[in-house]
């Protein structure tokens, strides 16, 4: 028996989880369930991270969490339990498979265009770090982290996933044409790792172009990897291609802990009515069974699900309106009754089970993702200042504080240069970035940054300071728009 942690979730979560577990039990899947306390009701009891200490210990000891949809209380200053769980346990790869399902009518199924897309989304970094500050009462800042180590983890997982799927193409979606350092690093790592998989075609596409192509020719894509926020958006877009989030499984994969969950909402308006669609959670559960090596049971259940859908059995949220819908329990019972049957389209071949060794990782320190510890040189600083002055007047003040070590290179507002050149038609807000670079790019000591901050602060309110680095002649910071 494989022991797994189960969190039933909020809203319709307990109903769909019970339905899925009844299917697993009927198929005699060798799982032992340990129910843990997570979700909105746990927040309401005063647990700021949405889970009890006992729940965290159980999940960390078992390494597998199967969870229903969960709600984060609104307006209480708390973080999403779903994001917290993924980040706390470093489930760095969010994998979602989107397949055309018989009985689930979409524009593409009616047109005879089959969809079989796997989206792998980086799950830890990007703007989902949630590191935000108000620089002035009018200006909010969000930091976006993309790391080499984090990118390597998710991209290597993507290529391994493509190999197991028998894919031919892996595509990197990105915005490196604009975010040259962050998305640029992600794209650079993608092509570095692609060299290790010469049997797979590796290419890239700008994310807005990717979205356009996905809604016009989704059959052209196979496996796609993206950064966190872009991957979040594209994942939901792909769910819409195959019928909605009710048919979108989700797996969050980490080195020590993995989470399998439904990513749709808690649907409080139908809670307790036993009419919710459990398909997304069941598909996520099938991904979990395969992750655990339970290939035979996964194939049996999936074939029964596909046969059931193909037969026209449906809950109220999809299917032919001319046929009566079934409730949650009846839908699960129909799948169980169809064990041993195969659909005419997309039948899964039952492969032998793979031994799964349930290991408890006893870590003594946080794993450090580091590939290059060579230090950068300090060659300047960006000072973010609050000011209602015009750019030229602000520059006049800043030029008094170069301390014989710096030159004032540019002043920008919302990323666009407004000094020494710019346009009078550029709207400005009350927060500027003033860039000071060292004279002749001579490396500086940290004390010089402190002195610059102190000097400028005598005349201006400095909201934030960002160190400018360089490695040899290569600048490790971007230019302003128009610089």
Whether the per-residue pLDDT at 370 is higher than 80: the answer is no
Q: What is the DSSP string of 38-106?
A: BSHHHHHTT-TTSB-HHHHHHHHHH-EEEE---PPPTTS----HHHHHHHHTT--EEEEEEE--TT---
Q: Are residues 324 and 404 in the same domain?
A: no
Taking a C-beta distance cutoff of 8 angstroms, is the pair 358, 63 a contact? yes
Tell me 10's DSSP state.
S
> Please, is 408 exposed, middle or buried when counting C-beta atoms within 10 Å of its C-beta (0-12, 13-18, 19+)?
buried
Q: Are residues 187 and 321 in the same domain?
A: yes
Mean pLDDT of 444-465: 96
pLDDT of residue 327: 97
Among the three residues 287, 316, 337, which one is the final residue of a domain in this structure?
A: 337
pLDDT of residue 67: 97
Whether the per-residue pLDDT at 75 is higher than 70: the answer is no
- Between the two ends of the chain, the Cα-to-Cα distance in Å is 63
What CA–CA distance (Å, rounded) separates 246 from 262?
Answer: 8
Crossing angle of the two packed helices 295-310 and 13-26, in degrees rounded to 10: 110
Mean pLDDT of 322-345: 95
Q: Which residues share a beta bridge with 32?
A: 3
pLDDT of residue 83: 87
Number of domains in the chain: 2
Percent of residues, the chain, with pLDDT higher than 70: 99
**pLDDT confidence bin for 20, thresholds 50/70/90:** very high
Percent of residues, the chain, with pLDDT higher than 90: 84
Is residue 346 a part of any domain in this protein? no
> Please, is 441 exposed, middle or buried when counting C-beta atoms within 10 Å of its C-beta (0-12, 13-18, 19+)?
middle
**pLDDT confidence bin for 326, thresholds 50/70/90:** very high
Q: Are residues 320 and 381 in the same domain?
A: no
Whether the per-residue pLDDT at 188 is higher than 90: the answer is yes
pLDDT of residue 35: 97
Is residue 117 a part of any domain in this protein? yes
Q: Which residues share a beta bridge with 136?
A: 139
190: its two tokens: 């993608």
**pLDDT confidence bin for 77, thresholds 50/70/90:** low
pLDDT of residue 151: 97
Q: Are residues 262 and 388 in the same domain?
A: no
Is residue 362 a part of any domain in this protein? no
Is residue 345 a part of any domain in this protein? no
Range of the domain at 412: 377-475
Whether the per-residue pLDDT at 453 is higher than 70: the answer is yes
What CA–CA distance (Å, rounded) separates 269 from 316?
Answer: 14
Is residue 264 a part of any domain in this protein? yes
Q: What are phi and psi of 48, to 5 degrees?
A: -70, -20
CA 110 vs. chain centroid, Å, equals: 31
Is residue 193 a part of any domain in this protein? yes
Is residue 347 a part of any domain in this protein? no
Mean pLDDT of 150-164: 97
CB burial readout 179-212, b (16+ within 10 A) else e: beebbbbbbebbeebbeebeebebebbebeebbe
**pLDDT confidence bin for 343, thresholds 50/70/90:** very high
Per-residue pLDDT tens for 374-404?
Answer: 788 999 999 999 999 999 999 999 999 999 9
> Please, is 469 exposed, middle or buried when counting C-beta atoms within 10 Å of its C-beta (0-12, 13-18, 19+)?
middle
Q: Are residues 125 and 73 in the same domain?
A: yes
Is residue 364 a part of any domain in this protein? no
What CA–CA distance (Å, rounded) separates 219 from 108?
Answer: 9
Q: Could you tell me which residue, 115 or 322, shows the higher pLDDT? A: 115
Q: Are residues 422 and 325 in the same domain?
A: no
Q: Are residues 323 and 388 in the same domain?
A: no
Taking a C-beta distance cutoff of 8 angstroms, is the pair 252, 259 a contact? yes
pLDDT of residue 251: 97
Among the three residues 337, 368, 387, which one is the final residue of a domain in this structure?
A: 337
Q: Are residues 136 and 86 in the same domain?
A: yes
Whether the per-residue pLDDT at 361 is higher than 80: the answer is no
Taking a C-beta distance cutoff of 8 angstroms, is the pair 71, 41 a contact? no
Per-residue pLDDT tens for 214-226?
Answer: 999 999 999 999 9
CATH code, domain carrying 423: 3.30.70.1570
pTM above threshold 0.85: yes
Taking a C-beta distance cutoff of 8 angstroms, is the pair 4, 65 a contact? yes
Q: What are phi and psi of 204, to 5 degrees?
A: -140, 160
Q: Are residues 271 and 390 in the same domain?
A: no
Q: Are residues 332 and 393 in the same domain?
A: no
What CA–CA distance (Å, rounded) separates 479 from 483?
Answer: 6
Q: In 3D, which of 115, 120, 113 has the Cα closest to residue 98?
A: 115
Taking a C-beta distance cutoff of 8 angstroms, is the pair 94, 123 a contact? yes
CATH code, domain carrying 231: 3.40.718.10
Q: Are residues 471 and 327 in the same domain?
A: no
Q: Are residues 298 and 402 in the same domain?
A: no
What CA–CA distance (Å, rounded) separates 452 from 396?
Answer: 16
Mean pLDDT of 93-107: 94
Whether the per-residue pLDDT at 72 is higher than 90: the answer is no
- Give the largest Cα separation in the chain, rounded: 82
CB proximity list for 472: less than 8 A, separation 6 or greater: none
Mean pLDDT (the chain, rounded):
94
Q: What is the DSSP string of 374-390?
A: PPPEEEEEEEEEE--S-
Whether the per-residue pLDDT at 76 is higher than 70: the answer is no
Among the three residues 337, 352, 367, which one is the final residue of a domain in this structure?
A: 337
């Amino acid at each position: 028996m494989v022991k797994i942690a189960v969190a039933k979730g909020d809203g319709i979560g307990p109903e769909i989880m019970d339905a899925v577990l009844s299917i697993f039990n009927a198929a005699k899947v060798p799982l032992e369930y340990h129910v843990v306390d997570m979700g909105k009701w746990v927040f309401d009891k005063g647990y700021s991270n949405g889970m009890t200490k006992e729940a965290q210990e159980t999940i960390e000891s078992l390494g597998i969490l199967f969870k229903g949809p969960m709600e984060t209380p609104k307006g209480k200053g708390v973080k999403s339990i779903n994001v917290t769980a993924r980040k706390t346990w470093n489930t760095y790869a969010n994998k979602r498979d989107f397949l055309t399902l018989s009985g689930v009518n979409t524009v593409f199924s009616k047109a005879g265009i089959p969809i079989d897309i796997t989206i792998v989304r980086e799950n830890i970094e990007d703007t989902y770090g949630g590191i935000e500050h108000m620089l002035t009462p009018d200006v909010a800042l969000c930091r976006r982290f993309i790391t080499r180590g984090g990118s390597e983890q998710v991209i290597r997982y993507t290529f391994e996933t493509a190999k197991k799927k028998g894919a031919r193409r892996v595509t990197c979606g990105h915005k490196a044409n604009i975010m040259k350092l962050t998305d640029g690093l992600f794209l650079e790592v993608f092509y570095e790792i692609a060299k290790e998989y010469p049997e797979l075609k590796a290419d890239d596409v700008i994310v807005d172009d990717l979205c356009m192509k996905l809604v016009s020719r989704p059959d052209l894509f196979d496996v796609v990897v993206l950064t966190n926020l872009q991957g979040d958006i594209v994942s939901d877009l792909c769910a819409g291609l195959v019928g909605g989030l009710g048919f979108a499984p989700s797996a969050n994969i980490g080195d020590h802990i993995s989470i399998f969950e439904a990513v749709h909402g808690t649907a409080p308006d139908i809670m307790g009515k036993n009419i919710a669609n459990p398909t997304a959670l069941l598909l996520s559960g099938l991904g979990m069974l395969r992750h655990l090596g339970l290939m035979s049971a996964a194939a049996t259940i999936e074939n029964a699900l596909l046969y059931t859908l193909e037969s026209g059995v449906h809950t109220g949220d999809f299917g032919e309106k001319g046929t009566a819908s079934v409730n949650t329990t009846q839908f699960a019972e129909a799948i169980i009754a169809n064990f041993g049957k195969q659909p005419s389209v997309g039948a899964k071949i039952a492969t032998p089970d793979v031994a799964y060794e349930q290991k408890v990782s006893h870590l003594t320190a946080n794993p450090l993702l580091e590939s290059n510890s060579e230090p950068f040189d300090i060659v300047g600083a960006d000072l973010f200042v609050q000011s209602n002055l015009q750019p030229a007047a602000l520059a006049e003040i800043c030029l008094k504080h170069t301390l014989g070590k710096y030159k004032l290179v540019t002043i920008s507002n919302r990323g666009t240069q407004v000094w020494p050149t710019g346009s009078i038609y550029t709207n400005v807000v009350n927060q500027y970035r003033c860039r000071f670079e060292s004279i002749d790019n001579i490396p500086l000591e940290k004390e010089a940054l402190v002195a610059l901050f102190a000097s400028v602060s005598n005349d201006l309110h400095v909201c934030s300071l960002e160190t400018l680095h360089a490695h040899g002649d290569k600048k490790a910071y971007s230019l302003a728009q128009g610089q």
